[in-house]
A and B are shown apart, each in its own frame.
Chain A
Amino acid sequence: MVKTMNDVCTLNNLPLYKSGLILSIKCKDYLINRIFDMGILENTMIKPLYRSPFGDPTAYLVKNTVIALREKDSKYITVTPIN
């Protein structure tokens, strides 16, 4: 697992079933507004639930909904893992 700082990692590196608090979202323009609308915002809890059979995308639990994101997009989201 790649950790940049002490307790910060990118969303794609958050292990399954480990909740995280979103710190920053720096996704590319084509997606950023869309994921805001879907409730993925800074200071929101997010939790990876399961991955596709081929490892990508991953389904995340956000605000009681399940949203699938590709790795190339989720790597621009940083989270603080929470126990």
Chain B
Amino acid sequence: MFARDLFRSSCSVNVQESADFKVALAGNPNVGKSTIFNALTGLKQHTGNWTGKTVECSSGKAVIKDKCYLFTDLPGTYSMNDFSEEEEVTRNFLATEKIDCVIIVVDSNIIERNLSFVLEVLSLQKEAVLCLNLCDEAEKNGVNIDVDELSLNLGIPVVCTCATKKSGINELKNVLGKICLGETKCFRVERNFTGIDVLDKEKHKLNSEMLAKKSKEICEKTVSYNTDPKKRDNCSLDKILTSKALGIPVMLVLFAALFWITAVGANYPSEWLSILFNYIKDELYILFEMIAVPHFLTGILIDGVYTTLTWVVSVMLPPMAIFFPLFSLIEDSGYLPRIAFNLDKFFARCGAHGKQSLTMAMGIGCNACGVTGCRIIESPSERLIAVVTNNFMPCNGRFPTLIAIIMMFFAGSAFGLIASFKVAVILLCIIVGCVLVTLGVSKLLSVTLLKGQKSGFALELPPYRKPQILKTVIRSLLDRTIFVLGRAVIVAAPAGAIIWLTANIYVGDSSVLSYCTNFLDPFGRMIGLDGVIVMAFILGFPANEIVVPIIIMSYMSSTTMMEYSSYEQLLELLSANGWTVITAVCMIIMCIMHFPCSTSCLTIKKETASIKWTIFSAVMPTVMGIILCFIVSNIMKIFI
């Protein structure tokens, strides 16, 4: 206990400060490296039960027994070859960096295959410790590993851990310390490497075979099975979740349930927050009046900054704070790779990679994360397709906007049980629509601009694991809250101030804002929206969260001031400004199909290293959105 406490208190060590020892964590994908990393450093890296969750290196420092260690969590790889980008990162790191010790993490359940990787790492780095993770699970599955014998065969210390329960972590720290200080000597077992040159790409097949043979030999000496070793035969859950009859329906029902819980659960906190913020707003007015703050300052601070900020917090925060913890649970359970498995055929037909469904799922959280996640796709052309189309998944900042519009215009503003089901079903239809659009665009791209080579599909399906419910929910809740609040302060507050200024600075007899909106109005009307909405989308470039607050502020500056603490009042405000069902539909279309936010654009630029593709991924959805809105609004006008 003491060591851990010591450790926690030292987490705030300045990362710039040099460390005494450098340690890297390496291993096959999805063996729990990030969980070990978190346990060692006290950091809170995201973890998930699927291959490719970590695609970037992350570093953290910790002080163990007065020595400062710099830990680097490397992306999981199957070998030392550089077939995909995140693997190249790992290989280069292990082949060129000077490190004091490598912690090689393996999944004890599948030790034989993992050992190939262990041997590969050992051929590059002598000082290492083997961490047999998920030991408890392996024991339950009847896998017995002779730790001492294994240690002798590899020439390095071996530690059993169960990272989620934090058992074995202290021992790991001790062993690590001894290796770094030279108290424990690792030795190179030459017979393990005869005839193997890991860095020679030409000899890959031979290498793999040799490594597999050596691993098998070592396993025969060190691993015994109590029960039938083919435990993974038992895949009754997968039989249901990937079956012909139930696979797709279960997936849809799961997402519908997720949306339903989000819509119902978010409604109450949203309302409470609005009431609270409005109360504070009234008090602030009184306070500002009492201390005789100039009218201009009151306007910019309360009507501008405060209003936008609180809107983002009260409307955006609750849905996200409910959706993401639930989504993290699904992620931890290991269900995501099954979605990729179920849908792969569609993706294959569209010239895309099955793993694209994983990056799309990430995109629901944040398009920038989704775009970075595309590194798990090996073929450059397929990766580019996934990067360019990721924006069609409504992210964090757009999701609540969709919920709000659906609630006001399609579910009846009196929020009841039936309305909440409607919201969930409509939202599900929209997401399915998004997936179809993504597939369609992927197909188009793959037969036109991105004809390049296709990579194969070889996806590992990890066993289902019971998520650590409480821990995941709390961490995800906090992370999400901080994320949304952070964006609110950084983007929404200045945006609020700017909008208020443009609405209140007059040139001639109309405000700067109305000049802009009037200018955009004819174009907006043409596509079923209006000038204000178009301007809101343009100004929402830094963050999609602020699109709706901008719309509200613009309307409020031209009409008499009114309260909008509930969806009914908001609907009243929007209707007073000419919103109809057509506007709502077009708004939803535009919300999904427009340029990615600035952060996503920068990420696309970074990942594609091409301005051309960055511009393409901004222009393509925008043009599509405009055309679709134009068509839909004109058709709807005929009928309504």
Residues of A within 8 A of B (CB): 27-28, 30-42, 44, 47, 49-57, 59, 61-70, 72-73
List, in ascending order, chain B residues with CB within 8 A of A28's CB: 456
* CB pairs A–B below 8 angstroms (10 shown): A34-B456, A34-B458, A41-B212, A47-B233, A49-B233, A53-B244, A53-B248, A65-B232, A68-B354, A70-B348
Q: How many A-B residue pairs have CB under 8 A?
A: 139
- B232: which of A44, A64, A72 is its contact (CB, 8 Å)? A64
Cα distance A68–B342 in the bound complex, in angstroms: 10
Query: Chain B's nearest CB lies how many Å from the CB of A66?
Result: 4
| A54 and B457 alpha carbons, distance in the complex (Å) | 15
The 9 A-B residue pairs with the shortest CB-CB distance in the complex, in nearest-first order: A31-B456, A37-B78, A53-B247, A36-B208, A37-B79, A39-B113, A54-B345, A66-B461, A63-B113
How far does the Cβ of B115 sit from chain A's closest Cβ, in whole Å? 10
Q: Which residues of A contact B204 (CB under 8 A)?
A: 33, 36
1/0 contact string of B244-268 vs chain A (CB within 8 Å) = 1001100000000000000000000
Whether B238 lies near A34 (C-beta < 8 A) is no
Would A53 and B243 be within 8 Å (CB), given that A37-B81, A42-B209, A68-B457 are in contact? yes
Check B348–A56 contact: CB distance below 8 A: yes
A31 to chain B, nearest CB (A): 3
- Interface residues of A, dominant DSSP: mixed
B135 to chain A, nearest CB (A): 15
A66 and B81 contact, Cβ closer than 8 Å, known pairs A27-B456, A39-B116:
no
In the complex the two chains form, is A64's CB within 8 Å of B110's CB?
yes
Q: Report the Cα distance A57→B242, complex, angstroms.
A: 11
A50 touches B209 (CB 8 A): no
> Does B378 touch A at the CB level, under 8 Å?
yes
Within 8 A of A (CB), among B218-235: 229-233, 235
How far, in angstroms, from A70 to B455 measured CA to CA in the complex? 11
In whole angstroms, what is the CA distance A65 to B229 when docked? 11
Interface centre among B235, B238, B341, by most A CB within 10 Å?
A: B341
Given the interface pairs A67-B461, A68-B459, the reply to whether A50 lies near B238 with Cβ below 8 Å is yes
Neighbouring A residues of B232 by C-beta, 8 Å: 49, 61, 64-66
Known: A36-B205, A37-B81, A39-B212. A68 touches B345 (CB 8 A): no
Contact A64 B230 (CB under 8 A): yes
Q: Does the CB pair B112–A63 fall under 8 Å?
A: yes
Closest chain-B Cβ to A83's Cβ sits at a distance in Å of 15
> Who on chain A is nearest to B246 by CB?
A53
Q: Name 14 extra pairs, CB < 8 A, besides A34-B456, A39-B212, A50-B235.
A: A30-B453, A35-B456, A36-B204, A37-B208, A39-B112, A47-B233, A50-B242, A56-B345, A57-B345, A59-B341, A63-B112, A64-B112, A66-B235, A68-B460
**Contact of A61 with B230 at beta-carbon distance under 8 Å, contacts A34-B378, A36-B204, A68-B461 already known:** yes
A38-B78, A65-B232 given; A57·B344 CB < 8 A: yes
